[in-house]
Amino acid sequence: MNFTLCASSEFVYPCVESLRRSNGGMAVPKSFAKPGDFTRKDNVQISYRDARKAVVTRPLMPEHLEGSLMGTKHVEEPNQKLDFVRTLLIDNHDSYTYNIYQELSIINGLPPVVVRNDDWMWKDAFHYLYEENAFDNIVISPGPGSPACATDIGICNRLLIECRDIPILGVCLGHQALGYAHGAQVVHASEPVHGRLSEIEHNGCGLFHDIPSGRNSGFKVVRYHSLIIDADSLPKEIIPIAWTSSADPLSFFKAQNYDVIPNVHKSQSGKQNSFDSFSTILPNRSSCSVDNMERRKVLMGIMHSTRPHYGVQFHPESIATCYGRQIFKNFRDITEDYWLRSRLSSTNERDFLYNACMQVSRASRSLRVPRISRSAKNKDDRFVREASRCHQIMSNEDEQNHVGMFNVTQSIGAKHLRLNWRKFDQLASQVGGARNIFCELLGGHEAENTFWLDSSSIEKRRARFSFMGGKGGSLWKQVTFKLSNESEKDFKGGGLLSIEDAQGFSRSIYLEEGFLDYLKKELLSFCYEEKDFEGLPFDFCGGYVGYIGYNLKVECGAASNRHKSKNPDACFFFADNFIVIDHCHDDIYIMSVREEATAMTPWLDDTEQKLLNLNASGKKKLECKKKLEEQTSQPASVFQGKTGFAAEKSREQYMKDVEKCMEYIKDGESYELCLTTQLRKQVEEINSLRLYLHLRDKNPAPYAAWLNFSRERLCICCSSPERFLRLDRNGMLEAKPIKGTISRGTTKEEDELLRLQLQYSEKDQAENLMIVDLLRNDLGSVCEPGSVHVPHLMDVESYATVHTMVSTIRGKKRSNVSAVDCVRAAFPGGSMTGAPKLRSMELLDSIESCARGIYSGSIGFFSYNQTFDLNIVIRTVVLHEDEASIGAGGAIVALSNPEDEYEEMVLKTRAPTKAVMDLDL
Residue 884, pLDDT > 80, answer yes
Bridge partners (DSSP) of residue 118 are none
Q: What is the pLDDT of residue 445?
A: 85
Give strand ranges (E) for 412-464: 415-424, 450-454
Over the stretch 443-489, which tens digit does the pLDDT of each residue have? 988 899 999 999 877 666 678 999 999 998 899 999 999 999 754 44
Lowest mean pLDDT among 395-409, 412-426, 511-525: 395-409
Q: Is 749 a catalytic residue?
A: no
Please state, in angstroms and rounded to a whole number, the distance separating the CA atoms of residues 86 and 67: 24
- State how far the Cα of 719 lies from the Cα of 456, in Å rounded to an integer: 9
780: amino acid identity, one letter? G
Between residues 424 and 284, which one has the greater pLDDT? 424
Q: How confident is the model at residue 566 (pLDDT cuts 50, 70, 90)?
A: very high
Q: Please compute the mean of the pLDDT values over residues 382-393 and round it to a whole number.
A: 36
CA distance 676 to 849: 10
Catalytic residue among 202, 315, 402, 880: 315
Question: 87-255+296-341: what fold?
Answer: Rossmann fold (3.40.50)
Q: For residue 869, which amino acid is it? A: D
Rounded to whole angstroms, the Cα distance separating 90 from 31 reads 27
Q: What is the pLDDT of residue 257?
A: 64
Indicate if the pLDDT at residue 650 is higher than 50.
Answer: yes
Which uninterrupted H or E stretch holds 543? strand 543-548
- 412 pLDDT exceeds 80? no
Where along the chain do its domains lie? 87-255+296-341, 415-616
Q: pLDDT tens digits for 115-165?
A: 999 999 999 999 999 999 999 999 999 999 999 999 999 999 999 999 999
For residue 470, which of 577, 605, 604, 580 has the smallest C-alpha distance?
Answer: 577
CB atoms within 10 A of CB 509: 10
For residue 172, indicate whether it is catalytic.
Answer: yes
CATH number assigned to the domain covering 415-616: 3.60.120.10
Q: What is the pLDDT of residues 725-774, one digit of tens each?
A: 999 999 999 999 998 889 999 999 999 999 999 999 999 999 999 999 99
By the 10 Å C-beta count (0-12 exposed, 13-18 middle, 19+ buried), 920 is classed as buried
> Once rounded to an integer, what is the mean pLDDT over residues 427-431?
93
* Other beta carbons less than 10 A from residue 142's beta carbon: 29
Q: Residue 427: what are its φ and ψ, rounded to 5°?
A: -105, -20
Residue 660: its H or E element? helix 651-666
pLDDT at 242: 97
Asked about 309 being catalytic, the answer comes back as no
Q: Is the pLDDT of residue 406 over 70?
A: no
From 78-87, 622-631, 674-683, the region with the lowest mean pLDDT = 622-631
Confidence check: pLDDT of 282 > 80: no
CB atoms within 10 A of CB 273: 16
Distance CA 877, CA 884 (A): 6
Identify the active-site residue in 76, 317, 500, 848: 317
pLDDT tens digits for 308-319?
A: 999 999 999 999
The highest-confidence range among 374-388, 454-468, 902-916, by mean pLDDT, is 902-916
Residue of 172, 288, 715, 717 with catalytic role: 172
Mind listing the pLDDT tens digit for each residue in 820-843? 999 999 999 999 999 999 999 999
DSSP labels, 709-758: EGGGTEEEEEEE--EEEEE-TTSEEEEE-EEEEEEPPSSHHHHHHHHHHH
Per the prediction, the chain carries an average pLDDT of: 80
Q: Which of 176, 818, 212, 182 is nearest to 518 (CA)?
A: 818
Specify the pLDDT at position 295.
Answer: 54
Which whole number is the average pLDDT over 221-230?
96
pLDDT given at position 618: 52
Q: What percent of the chain has pLDDT over 90?
A: 67
Tell me how crowded residue 191 is: count the other CB atoms within 10 A of its CB.
14
Q: Can you give the C-alpha Rg of the chain in angstroms? A: 29
Segment 152-198, tens digit of pLDDT: 999 999 999 999 999 999 999 999 999 999 999 999 999 999 999 99
Supply the pTM of this predicted model.
Answer: 0.82
